[in-house]
Structure 1
Amino acid sequence: MNVVITGAGRGIGLGFVEYYLSAGATVWACYRCGDDGLRNFDSDRLKTVQWDVIETKDANFINESEIPGSIDLLINNARIYGPDKETGQSLDGITPETMLNVLDVNCIGPLRVVQRLKSKVISAKGKIANISSKMGSCEENTTGGCYAYRASKACLISVSKSMAIDLAPYDVRVITLHPGWVKTDMTGQSGLIDVQCSVKGVAAIIDNMDGYSPGAFVAFDGRCIPY
């Protein structure tokens, strides 16, 4: 099984790497900068690729990265939160520059990656898992604020749904996932669950993706989230 994971250098991404290596997969772990966590794995099935998802990569980059011609699972996990919610993402504090920067990483980034790798996923009739957040749900937004992060994750849900529809004729399945409020650097270790719990739940959903409608938005515990 060939697995490609973006944002794999730390946090949930690093958890995915550990999980799929343990499951016997060959993993291409893509990171923006800092691969210290990845160096802790001693496996010839781990391949590391420095790939910032805000950059549009050409075929030469993919060939040099030795990403295989057939990808069974692509996990678009790379993301940023942006400035703090109290000031930098408040109604008065949010700026167009912040909106565009967060959107570029969290939504356009996964789109770039899929555009570059879709032929390889199609070759395997594989799966694409886009990691969004419950904060992208308009219906579940009861606290406001977090303008850039919420908007970027809502945008990804919509883009992921279109991917699911467009790739269905090629037998490629796409799902959008909420990993939970996880104890990572992004949350200041203040989450409700740990990385292992999140990854285990998400992986179980990926394994049973056929049980959900194309492009469904699903939490790590299996609950479908309203858009």
Structure 2
Amino acid sequence: MENSAEIGAAVLGLVAAGGGGPAAVLADLVGSVERVVGLTAGAALLSDGAVGGVVASGAAEPRAALAAGFGQGPGGESARSGRPVLCPDLGRERSRWLVFAAKALAAGVDAAWAFPLSHGPDTVGALLVLGRAGAEPDPQVLGLFAEAAAVAILHSAASDRTATELRQLRTALTSRVVVEQAKGMLAVHGGVDVGTAFELLRGHARRNGRPLGEVATALICGDTDPAIIIEHR
């Protein structure tokens, strides 16, 4: 088995790579496989049943077969099924994956191991490792790398959603404050209550096909004369 300290460092690096987004995680994943296991590797993301965005590391010739391996090949099967797909003898799988097997064998690769990027019920992609028959890498190590990458990608997505929700909340709160200020201005200018002021403001926005917040901002900034709005009461 590979050095446990090196494996641990690689796993921690994968988790930390989540801050750079999915592409950074995939790059760190395949780089870790090449560095720790010594094999050519590719990783890709799963989206709506399609696998794409392949990132690769390792020898040039085997890398040429990786894209096919994520189409009709073990990488694609692993991503869509959420299960490992182990192929210690690609020669026996010619009829199963015609294009991938032909490209891999032509590149001097006759074995492949694919692992889903999964954590809990969520599968976000797959890791595909290419090598030689009889020199199988430790599947536990590859599975550990794949799961660490999945954790990083899922955490990154959750962080992005949280940031988006916070931006939307700030925008909504800001818009509400602006509308309240505009209502107050109209109420004072027209000598009406704030409820009537709001109806006048909203009516003006609808007649002109503009968002309420935009009309309120224009009123506060002096770009819209309150008399124009008041005259429709």
Bigger share in helix: 2
* TM-score bracket, shorter-length normalisation: under 0.3
Scaled by the length of structure 2, the TM-score of the pair is: 0.21
Scaled by the length of structure 1, the TM-score of the pair is: 0.21
Give the greater-gyration-radius structure (CA): 2
